[in-house]
Amino acid sequence: MKYNKINNLTGWICFLVAALTYILTLEPNVSFWDCGEFIASAFKMQVVHQPGAPLFLMIERFFSIFAFGDVTKVAYFMNLGSAIASAATILFLFWTITALAKKMLVKADEEISTSKMISIMGAGVVGALAYTFSDSFWFSAVEAEVYALSSLFTAIVFWGILKWEAHADEPQSDRWLLFIAYIMGLSIGIHLLNLLTIPAIAFVYYFKKTPNPTTGGVFKTFIVGVLILAVVQYGIIQYLISFGAYFDLFFVNTLGLGFGSGVLFFAILLIGGLVYGIRYSIKHRKRVLNLALLSTALIIFGYGSYAMIVIRAKADPNLNNSDPDNAFALLGYLNREQYGDRPLLFGPNYNSQRVAVKEGKNLYRKGEDKYEVAGKKTDYEYDRTTPFPRMYSDDPRHVEYYKDMTGLDESQFPTLFDNISFLFKYQIGNMYMRYFMWNFVGRQNDDQGQGSLYEGQWLSGIKPVDAILLGNQSNLPPSIVDSKSYNRFFFLPLIIGVLGAVWHFKRNQKDAGIVALLFFFTGLAIVLYLNQKPLEPRERDYAYAGSFYAFAIWIGFGVLAIREWLEKKVTPKNAAIGATVLSLFAAPIIMAAQGWDDHDRSTKMVAHDIAVDYLESCAPNAILFTYGDNDTYPLWYAQEVEGIRPDIRLVNLSLFDTDWYINGMKRKMNESEPLPITMKESQYVQGVRDVMYYQDYKIAGSVELKSILEVLLSDNDEDKIQVTETTKENFIPTKNFHITINPEDVLKTGTVSPADANKIAPIMQWTFNKGYVTKGTLAMFDILAHNNWKRPIYFASTVPSEQYNGLDNYLYNEGLALRLLPLTPDTAASRTEQLNAPVLYNNVMNKFKWGNIKHAKYLDPQSADDISIFANVWNNTVTGMLKEGKVAEAKKAANKYLEVMPDKFYGMRSMMGTYFMAENFYMLGETAKANEIVTRCADYIQKELTYLADVSESKNRLVGMQNVRLGMSFLNQMANTTAQYKQMPLAEKINNQFKALEARFGPYLGQE
């Protein structure tokens, strides 16, 4: 059989293995984070968060067709789209490895021997399957996120340049370069990571066209590659839109023509210029110019997928992030302006002081008939700056992390070397190398790692080696050994990859350098560019999958390195077979065996069900305030795709400070009527009432909220304060607000039942909890002032309490949402005791779903965290029923808790929720059940803290202080509780556990 047939057949076998793997482990419905937004937006062709992914949305929309109208299957088939794209990535990776291997092992026109054929195919299979089962790539392969499709485009581009190299001496070989340009243009509509292959592509071109490369030539090629990357990323992606926007500004504001006329004129100029240039290059035989212009044109053609963003924004869909329906809005959308800037080469440290505000260019917004100035782009000037700032955030939590990581005190200003130290310790060490080692060495667990020695670290499974990094590993705790992500590869994939890299550099430095460049630009270069702050909300390993892709090529070449060594001992054919089999077991097989259980999401429904529970917590026609990604995106999916509770209006408070989002809230969505917002758009557009500060006017008592609103919206200069010499702004003169309650409105709308009529407060009075008002807060005030209790108002239970704006005493728990009720506050009750118990009980027992958390094969970190949310709901339900004297209902709820909640603990928070239920069982007289739960909780704490004590002793410092204090506190509480309920043997056992651990931690706790 010819080489090409074998190569193609083996590649497709790898594709099938990968596809089967990902389909079997596929998430059956929506996932957390961005997936809910992407699925909802793809299904209805809506506009996602900046900078958008239009081509991804269109491709996923195609996959949704296979649901054949069953909206409950839409998410599955979109997830399937990622699985197929990921399997195709493996196919192109296989062909890339075999192309590189063949070039090194087989000379031109040489007949390929059986041993070399086995070696080449073995290298491809081992490298491709190693990447198939790599942790980071596998995670993205089973959910509807952009990274799977982005990886495919990266793989196609790198494979394409090798195809060009193989045919570069043939006529019309440049078609491969043009193919690459078009694929890159298309990839912009998915994710920009694909562009990082450009420097490597430049070197393939240089080495092919230069028989005798020089050091100077290599340096120039690197510069050219980076320049081409910059031209595409900034020149084409940003400045083309910027030129179009300013052409439009001139045509609209100066010439008086309609919106879009300037963009159209600029497009005609651009197309005309490209056509003229291409014709000129053909006529005068300017090959390089022709190639450059055609490549530019094809990149722009691919980039044209962004037309979908503008077209759909003009249709005002329900999800219309940033509303980029004009040139300037699109420019801000592509520039990710809502996310702000970060310093890269020069800037402040965390303790630099702001001394002035520097104004830049005008910011424009679309007005009625022309563009209006919305303000100026501003930047701060600082008293002290530093080159290469890595520690620049002044967030107090970040500042503490910086100081803890570097050992700096309050008086010290971080130097260049301090910033470089942070780069290596945190940004490279924790946010890249840790991920790299997860994929090729092993993983401790899937708790999010922020630098601690017991959460989310890498480990190999070789305890003496792991002890060097992590401390004494002799008594591993349940949070490690019971974690599905406790993966031990014993360094084997890493060793195979390093052998392959060394062998590659010895055999072909040029190609090895190209792979190394791909490895660098898709890994460490991203680290340098992102300049990440500490305490990220989730792990970011998906951003570096391209780097792991490059290393997988070297894992494939590890087969060739081992084969070369074995050939000294056995026949070439046996050496090839032996090297392939050995490498298969050392890399992909062990990675698959260890990784399967922590990537099998086929039975998990947490994101879907918790979204349903948030919605079902609300009464009909409710307004539900949410805050983060995971209490918003799955709910968008539930409403937009499955049509669950379309009567509820979701209001994301993180987006509520933008004019475009408030505009959307003033329109009907699904079955939800517009919100009662009375403000005119001119009163809250970008640049108007962005922030209004508190100025204490010593007003006695509280002020009606409508009066506060009138002051904040007033255009009268008497209602404003001087901010600068030329500007005045609205302000809040007091923080003490109230709403006068009409009991008839409250009863008529069913907000409060007639039985509780005597609890209705005559006025709802509260103290605003911030020193400023943003336009989002202003919009909330508008809703509160004019709703008149016609629509129920809720806050998701995950909304930070500061976002309640001081309304805490009027919020009552009804499940996963807190309802605003105008009841006289019970000042003696604690915050957690404010329950609307009957509604809560009905929701929990009859409406809520639990995501199959008890029986799911694997729960990803966010799903595991949500166990604590579910446990809190159950505990509130039982407590609420007991408080109302409904013991039978409390028992039913407590026993149903045992039916649906997992027995396994997913960390200390999970244990805490379980223990609180044990206290409820004691109160219910279910002593045996309570004892069993308390025993499990105490044993869990003992094992966790024994491990932390071992590590602390080996590191000679306290490790895991928060868990130690939490665990000791709960052990003490358990001893007291069991003694209170006369369970003396158990109380004595727990007390002994407490004393033993106290003795071990005493020296360290005394130092704190």
Q: List pLDDT tens digits, range 586-615.
A: 999 999 999 999 999 999 999 999 999 999
* CB-CB neighbours of 863 under 10 Å: 24
In whole angstroms, what is the distance from residue 521 CA to residue 515 CA? 10
pLDDT per residue over 901-914, tens digit each? 999 999 999 999 99
In the predicted model, what is the mean pLDDT of the chain? 94
Residue 106 has phi, psi (to 5 degrees) of: -120, 125
Residue 249 CA to its chain's centroid (Å): 36
Q: Is the pLDDT of residue 359 over 90?
A: no
- Distant-in-sequence contacts of 18-22, Cβ < 8 A, 24+ apart: 18/86, 18/87, 18/89, 18/90, 18/91, 18/128, 18/129, 18/132, 18/141, 19/83, 19/84, 19/87, 21/132, 21/133, 21/138, 21/592, 22/82, 22/83, 22/86, 22/87, 22/138, 22/141, 22/142
% of the chain beyond a pLDDT of 70: 99
* Torsional class of 575: left (φ above 0), alpha (ψ -120 to 50), beta (otherwise): alpha
Determine how β-strand 793-796 pairs with β-strand 623-626: parallel
Beta bridge partners of 875: none
State both tokens at 97: 């490895």
Assess whether pLDDT exceeds 50 at residue 831: no
C-beta neighbour count of 3 within 10 angstroms: 16
Could you tell me the pLDDT band of residue 1008, with boundaries at 50, 70 and 90? Answer: very low
What local confidence, expressed as pLDDT, does residue 252 receive? Answer: 96
Phi-psi label, residue 17: left if phi above 0, alpha if psi -120 to 50, beta otherwise: alpha
Distance CA 139, CA 133 (A): 9
* pLDDT surpasses 90 at 471: yes
Whether residue 211 has pLDDT greater than 90? no
Q: Which pLDDT score, from 0 to 100, does residue 1003 have?
A: 87
Average pLDDT score over residue span 712-716: 93
Separation CA 662–CA 735 (nearest Å): 24
Q: How far apart are CA 195 and CA 238, in angstroms?
A: 14
Taking residues 216-227, report their average pLDDT. 95
Q: Express each pLDDT in 683-696 by its tens digit.
A: 999 989 999 999 99
What pLDDT is recorded for position 594?
97
User: What percent of the chain stands above pLDDT 90?
Assistant: 91
Q: Tell me, what amino acid is at 434?
A: R
Where is 252: in which H helix or E strand? none
- DSSP letter (8 states) at residue 143: S
Lowest-pLDDT choice from 107-111, 192-196, 686-690, 837-841: 107-111
pLDDT band at 377; cut points 50, 70, 90:
confident
The CA-based angle 612-74-128, given to 5 degrees, is 115
Which residues touch 382 (CB under 8 Å, ≥6 apart)?
Answer: 347, 348, 352, 353, 354, 355
Quick one: pLDDT at residue 1002? 87
Q: How many CA atoms lie within 13 A of 936 on its CB side?
A: 21
Separation between Cα atoms, residue 255 and residue 260, nearest integer Å:
12
What pLDDT is attached to residue 340? 74
- At residue 583, the 3 state secondary structure works out as helix
Q: What is the pLDDT of residues 54-101, one digit of tens each?
A: 999 999 999 999 999 999 999 999 999 999 999 999 999 999 999 999
Identity of the residue numbered 663: N
Average pLDDT over residues 38-55: 96
Helix 509-521 to helix 198-209 angle (10° resolution) is: 160
- Residue 109: its pLDDT value, please? 80
For 928, counting Cβ atoms within 10 Å of its Cβ (0-12 exposed, 13-18 middle, 19+ buried), the class is exposed
- Structure confidence at residue 399 (pLDDT): 94
- Supply 322's token pair: 């940033």
632, HSE (Cβ side, Cα atoms, 13 Å): 20
For residue 304, pLDDT over 90 is answered with yes
**Among 76, 885, 136, CA closest to 440:** 136
Q: Is the pLDDT of residue 859 over 50?
A: yes
Q: How far is CA 669 from CA 318, 319, 641, 649, 729, in A?
A: 6, 10, 13, 8, 33
Question: What single-letter amino acid sits at 111?
Answer: E
pLDDT at 145 (0 to 100): 96
Cβ(516)–Cβ(537) below 8 Å: no
pLDDT at 95: 98
Look up residue 159 and give its two tokens: 């494979």
Average pLDDT for 316-345 = 91
Judged against a pLDDT cut of 90, whether residue 832 lies above it is answered with: no
Compute the distance between CA of residue 141 and CA of residue 549 in angstroms, rounded to an integer: 14
pLDDT of residue 1006: 64
Q: How many residues does the chain have?
A: 1008
Asked whether the predicted pLDDT for residue 829 surpasses 80, the reply is no
